[in-house]
């Protein structure tokens, strides 16, 4: 295996210069209800797919001006249906982040769509002035069959807002078909503002997916840092609105776990503004219930996605995650996928952790990895691949059943 940099070297490639390379700034909104800026509205990130299920999907995108938005969709390129989002009788309006759930889709059948946003130039109580429209090209995705016999997915971790790493990972992943991308934490160094989320995460992540394949977001410890970290859920969609959740795709049932921070809650670095120990205890209780569900027990394979490796010795805050490992041990987990260390590795099961853990490399382009997993009802195959195509790890798992 080539010599690989450790997790601290990302500062060399993603320091101050990188944080300035944002997408075009999102226009300011004035208190008098008049949008700022000149020119036509633009879509600056997306559309990108979230929470794709057999009968529905969430479509999200970002505009540079406040708009009212909708999705036009249908089973053919003629589209024919239109969906908007409303809450408490009010259609979402004067927004720059747009989230619309399409429902009633036919599993396994193509869904054609485009997104449309119309600028709201002035939004007063009794007069609303509309401006020009921005819309995407016609796009297409296919929701999975509920009983799909196969799934293929790829995992990136610890990109740390490195644009070249994003590009190289996408290029390597695209060499073989896959159903979705799992982002396993630390795509950003921290979160300070909207422009950083849009320009250094959403745009380079979503553009190569072409609105055709979703990404599944797993929060890393760096995404819990910074003044804008509390707004991150505005830009992603999960089944329950939390950073930890479960879903099934084909023969695999997934548990997505938020591993919290890598230091104790009272560490000076956090300035007394984190409370992960009780949060992780709640997740452990949730995991203990999840592993009893039919969806979990009847799956051919069970995979855990968590940024910080779910190992007994995983840093100063390992004790916070120990109850989660206790809940997973003996439950029938086939594989846990992690990042965080920036060094690719594979940990065999141990006496008090009966599942293997694979860790992806990062974050400089030559050290970053694509973890590719393919599964059918009988076999699951894992490969860890450097961006130059070198295969670092290759494993095969047989279905264990309930």
Write down the pLDDT at residue 7: 44
Position 18 in a domain = no
Q: SS3 of 95, please?
A: strand
- CA-to-CA distance for 149 and 295, rounded, in angstroms? 15
- Shared domain for 383 and 280, answered yes or no, is yes
What CATH number does residue 169 fall under? 3.60.21.10
The Cα 250–Cα 302 span in angstroms is 11
- Looking at residue 39, its pLDDT comes to 83
CA distances from 55 to 101, 102, 221, 248, 402 (A): 11, 8, 33, 13, 27
Q: How confident is the model at residue 374 (pLDDT cuts 50, 70, 90)?
A: very high
Q: Which one has a higher pLDDT value, 17 or 202?
A: 202
Q: What is the mean pLDDT of residues 51-61?
A: 98
The reply to whether 160 and 299 lie within a common domain is: yes
Q: Which residues pair with 362 in a beta bridge?
A: none
Question: Is 267 in contact with 317 (CB distance < 8 Å)?
Answer: no
- The pLDDT > 70 percentage for the chain reads 90
Q: Cα–Cα distances in Å, from 3 out to 255, 343, 394? A: 32, 9, 19
Predicted confidence (pLDDT) per residue in 241-273, tens digit: 999 999 999 999 999 999 999 999 999 999 999
Helix axes 276-290, 318-328, angle to 10 degrees: 10
Sheet hosting strand 335-338, strand order edge to edge: 245-249, 252-257, 301-306, 335-338, 357-359, 345-347
Residue 2 predicted with pLDDT over 80: no
Name the band, by pLDDT with cuts 50, 70 and 90, for residue 316.
Answer: confident
Residue 239 confidence (pLDDT): 95
pLDDT at 34: 55
Q: Both tokens of residue 103?
A: 């429902």
Q: Which of 299, 212, 200 is nearest to 253 (CA)?
A: 299
Do 339 and 199 fall within a single domain? yes
Is residue 317 included in any domain, yes or no? yes
pLDDT value at position 8?
A: 41
- Please choose, from the candidates 393, 376, 389, 396, the residue with its C-alpha nearest in 3D space to the C-alpha of residue 171: 389
Please tell me the total count of domains within the chain: 2
Q: Which of 118, 141, 164 is the last residue of a domain?
A: 141
- Domain's final residue, options 141, 171, 199: 141
Is 394 a domain residue?
yes
Which of 121, 141, 161 is a domain's end point?
141
* 245 shares its domain with 393: yes
Q: How far apart are CA 242 and CA 240, in angstroms?
A: 5
Residue 148 has pLDDT above 90, yes or no: yes
pLDDT at residue 31 above 70? no
The rounded Cα 212 to chain-centroid distance in angstroms is: 15
Tell whether the model's pLDDT for residue 1 goes beyond 80: no
Domain assignment of residue 265, given as a range: 151-398
Residues 50 and 175 in one domain: no
Q: pTM for this one?
A: 0.91
- What is the rounded average pLDDT for all residues in the chain? 92
> Over the stretch 155-210, which tens digit does the pLDDT of each residue have?
999 999 999 999 999 999 999 999 999 999 999 999 999 999 999 999 999 999 99
């Amino acid at each position: 295996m080539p010599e690989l940099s450790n997790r601290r070297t990302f500062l060399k490639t993603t320091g101050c210069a990188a944080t300035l390379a944002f997408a075009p700034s999102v226009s300011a909104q004035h208190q008098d209800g008049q949008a700022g800026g000149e020119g036509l509205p633009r879509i600056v990130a997306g559309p990108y797919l979230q929470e794709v299920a057999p009968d529905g999907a969430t479509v999200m995108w970002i505009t540079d001006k406040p708009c009212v938005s909708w999705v036009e969709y249908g089973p053919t390129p003629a589209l024919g249906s239109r969906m908007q989002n409303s809450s408490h009788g009010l259609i979402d309006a004067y927004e720059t982040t747009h989230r619309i759930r399409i429902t009633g889709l036919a599993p396994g059948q193509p869904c054609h769509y485009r997104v449309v946003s119309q600028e709201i130039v002035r939004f007063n109580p009794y007069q609303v002035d509309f401006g020009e429209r921005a819309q995407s090209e016609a796009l297409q995705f296919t929701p999975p069959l509920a009983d799909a016999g196969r799934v293929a997915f790829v995992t990136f971790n610890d990109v740390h807002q490195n644009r070249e790493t994003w590009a190289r990972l996408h290029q390597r992943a695209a060499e073989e078909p896959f159903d979705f991308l799992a982002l396993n934490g630390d795509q950003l160094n921290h979160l300070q503002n909207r422009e950083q989320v849009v320009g250094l995460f959403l745009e380079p992540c979503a553009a190569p997916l072409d609105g055709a394949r979703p990404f599944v977001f797993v929060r890393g410890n760096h995404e819990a840092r910074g003044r804008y970290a509390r707004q991150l859920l505005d830009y992603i969609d999960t089944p329950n609105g939390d950073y930890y959740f479960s879903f099934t795709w084909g023969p695999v049932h997934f548990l997505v776990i938020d591993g919290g921070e890598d230091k104790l809650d009272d560490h000076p670095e956090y300035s007394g503004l984190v409370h992960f120990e009780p949060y992780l205890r709640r997740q452990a209780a949730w995991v203990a219930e999840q592993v009893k569900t039919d969806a979990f027990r009847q799956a051919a394979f069970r995979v855990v996605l968590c940024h910080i490796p779910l190992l007994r010795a995983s840093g100063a805050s390992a004790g916070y995650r120990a109850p989660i490992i206790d809940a997973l041990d003996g439950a029938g987990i086939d594989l846990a996928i992690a990042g965080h260390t920036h060094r690719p590795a594979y940990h065999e099961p141990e006496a008090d952790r009966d599942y293997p853990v694979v860790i992806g490399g990062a974050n400089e382009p030559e050290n970053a990895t694509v973890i590719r997993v393919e599964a059918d009802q009988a076999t699951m195959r894992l490969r860890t691949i450097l961006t130059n195509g070198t295969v670092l790890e290759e494993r095969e798992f047989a279905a264990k059943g309930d």
